[in-house]
């Protein structure tokens, strides 16, 4: 049995999580005398008529005390005669589900509270699913507020039955139900004489003896490289935490994703040189060969980690903005951080029933199975086999907020079955043959800004200069290649992705590509830039909205203003202005010829 137990308290709002832990600490005399005195004084002006409010020991934020709810995760460290504990008291309100998930990510065991007067609620089910998603295999269901139901066994038995049904959906190692009263102290630290019908242990004695030690499924050595240490020209060490297995001097390690191998010449724990080290240790490893190793690489031995750019994952969506297929994020897994796209939403999981439900969008606090593609091949593993290389987060490219957390389920076969073939006739060869530098000049701006007219004029001038070009216009492409796409958000995302991929292929042919698309969202333009690479040149046609409406040759603005046209950029859908475009032109400030001349001067440095 481990000496340290890390556990989380969770459940629906106002189920008594903070009160339970506070009462446990108070009764077990695990708080200092001044804390006890402060608690008694603060309780006099609390919500319990002068009775001790044990939740005040955990709820430290002013907003928490005013509202009587937990908002942020509160960590407490305490030790009894038998064991040391770290407890994360997490919020129950749906609005703060992301905070609860943070607490669950560190825990070995979950204490899930259920209000005896209300039974198993939606948030109780959601928290149980999140705990299981985060790899927690040991559960305690504390049926709280038994004092409010007169300590009736029938109430407890009914809830116990519902919990058993809920647990049938999950893979767990241990689960117990304990009837408690957090305010009165029943079955918290000692057995209650008001529930003689309960034959099990009180909560604290159970936590002191429960065995949560796991046999790791991953037996080989794995260490994600966090940092390359190069204090001088004679020393090059690779630093990180050993996630599984052990390493010794003389071992032959493989570097993923490259697959190169080298022998270990030395191992350091801090400044101490050691012969070997094992899982959980932070180490510096030196190799006998100067091979390419950088942050994000993984050192392995006798481990079957996966290297691919496609996998299936289960995600807990935490962003206020919905998730739709095609959106691009930064993915962090281990020490790797790469651009990634949610290719497909397979289904979402109904919180109450556990059923797989079709969904084309995922909203805050929903759980979904998705397929993800990364911009480069990465090293990962199934979460159940290697937690460090099987857990991930998605980061919003614009706000840098964490949009989702999740776990890897399995690799996608098509990611391994496809191989990029390098051709003998390269882009550079074609560029030399055509006597030009291949570029994609990406025109973006509001409808009516003059993008198509300006792109057409620029193409004529480039052709007159002997350049080889291709113009992709938004309307023209939607009448052919993208005729199956509508104007909803996920269709717009896919529209831009396809155009970027086509532009890249045309650049590989040595052509200068001009594209004319509204492309209103910064993340989509950024995704296009990543697909196309250094050949991408962003031109912002900054013609004001008022001028665009005056032109309105298609009558679209009028329709949008009258409510007859949904998702119209600038009126019923936003346009995100480029922050750092490569060129800017306002077509209201001159004739078409004057604007084209001005723009060409800005583009000269990219076309040379």
DSSP state of 82: S
Active site residue 174: no
C-alpha dihedral (161, 167, 169, 174), degrees to nearest 10: -140
Closest CA to 444 of 569, 571, 339: 569
Burial 426-462 (b: 16+ CB within 10 A, else e): eeeebbeebebebbbbbbbbbbbbbbbebbebbbeeb
Query: Tokens standing for 191?
Result: 């057995």
| CA distance from start to end of the chain | 69
Q: Which two tokens stand for residue 14?
A: 């106002």
Angle between helices 97-104 and 122-133 (to 10 degrees): 40
Q: Tokens for 260? A: 């190169």
Dist. CA 355–CA 109, nearest whole Å: 25
The b-or-e profile of 98-114 (16+ CB within 10 A means b, else e) is bbbbbbbbebbbbbbbb
Alpha-carbon gap, residue 197 to 116, rounded angstroms? 16
Helix (H/G/I), strand (E/B), else coil: 466 = coil
Distance CA 198, CA 116 (A): 15
Contact by Cβ (8 Å): 35, 54: no
Phi then psi dihedrals of residue 410, to 5 deg: -170, 160
Query: Which one from 192, 519, 527, 542 is the annotated catalytic residue?
Result: 519
Residue 97: CB atoms within 10 Å: 23
Contact 213, 2 (CB under 8 A): yes
Q: Which residues are catalytic?
A: 519
């Amino acid at each position: 049995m481990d000496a340290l137990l890390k556990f989380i308290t969770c459940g629906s709002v106002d189920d008594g999580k903070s009160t339970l832990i506070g009462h446990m600490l108070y009764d077990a005399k695990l708080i200092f005398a001044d804390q006890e005195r402060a608690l008694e004084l603060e309780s006099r002006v609390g919500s319990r008529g002068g009775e001790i409010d044990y939740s005040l020991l955990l709820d430290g934020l002013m907003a928490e005390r005013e509202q009587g709810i937990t908002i942020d995760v509160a960590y407490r460290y305490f030790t009894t005669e038998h064991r040391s504990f770290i407890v994360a008291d997490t919020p129950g309100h749906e609005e703060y589900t992301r905070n609860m998930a943070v607490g669950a990510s560190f825990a070995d065991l979950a204490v899930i509270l259920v209000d005896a007067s209300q039974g198993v609620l939606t948030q109780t089910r959601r928290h149980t699913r999140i705990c299981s998603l985060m790899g927690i295999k040991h559960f305690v269901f504390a049926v709280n507020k038994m004092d409010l139901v007169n300590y009736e066994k029938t109430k407890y038995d009914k809830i116990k039955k519902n919990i058993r049904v809920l647990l049938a959906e999950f893979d767990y190692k241990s689960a117990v139900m304990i009837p408690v009263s957090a305010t009165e102290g029943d079955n918290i630290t000692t057995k209650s004489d008001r529930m003689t019908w309960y034959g099990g242990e009180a909560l604290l004695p159970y936590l002191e003896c429960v065995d949560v030690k796991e046999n790791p499924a991953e037996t080989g050595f794995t260490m994600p490289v966090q940092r390359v240490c190069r204090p001088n020209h004679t020393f090059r060490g690779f630093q990180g935490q050993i996630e599984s297995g052990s390493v010794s001097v003389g071992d032959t390690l493989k570097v993923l994703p490259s697959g190169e191998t080298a022998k270990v010449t030395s191992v350091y724990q801090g400044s101490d040189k050691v012969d070997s080290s094992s899982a959980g240790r932070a180490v510096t490893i030196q190799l006998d060969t100067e091979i390419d190793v950088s942050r994000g690489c993984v050192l392995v031995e006798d481990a079957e980690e996966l290297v691919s750019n496609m996998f299936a994952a289960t995600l807990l969506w935490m962003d206020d903005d919905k998730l739709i297929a095609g959106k691009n994020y930064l993915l962090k897994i281990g020490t790797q951080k790469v651009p990634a796209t949610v290719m497909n939403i397979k289904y979402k999981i109904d919180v109450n029933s556990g059923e797989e439900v079709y969904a084309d969008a995922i909203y805050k606090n929903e759980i979904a199975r998705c397929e993800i593609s990364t911009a480069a091949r990465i090293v990962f593993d199934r979460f159940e086999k290697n937690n460090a290389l099987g857990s991930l987060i998605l980061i919003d490219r614009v706000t840098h907020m964490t949009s989702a957390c999740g776990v890897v389920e399995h690799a996608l076969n098509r990611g391994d079955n496809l191989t990029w073939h390098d051709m003998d006739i390269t882009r550079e060869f074609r560029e030399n043959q055509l006597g030009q530098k291949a570029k994609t000049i990406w025109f973006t701006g509001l409808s009516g800004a003059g993008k198509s007219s300006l792109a057409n004029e620029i193409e004529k001038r480039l052709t007159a200069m002997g350049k080889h070009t291709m113009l992709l216009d938004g309307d023209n492409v939607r009448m052919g290649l993208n005729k199956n796409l509508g104007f909803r958000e996920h269709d717009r995302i896919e529209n831009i992705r396809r155009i970027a991929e086509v532009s890249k292929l045309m650049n590989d042919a040595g052509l200068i590509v001009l594209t004319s698309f509204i492309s209103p969202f910064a993340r989509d333009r950024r995704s296009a830039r990543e697909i196309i690479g250094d050949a991408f040149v962003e031109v912002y046609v900054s013609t004001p909205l008022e001028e665009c409406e005056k032109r309105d040759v298609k009558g679209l603005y009028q329709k949008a203003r009258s409510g007859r046209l949904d998702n119209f950029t600038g009126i019923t859908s936003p346009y995100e202005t480029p922050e750092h475009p490569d060129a800017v032109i306002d077509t209201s400030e001159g004739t078409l010829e004057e604007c084209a001349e001005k723009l060409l001067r800005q583009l000269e440095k990219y076309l040379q």
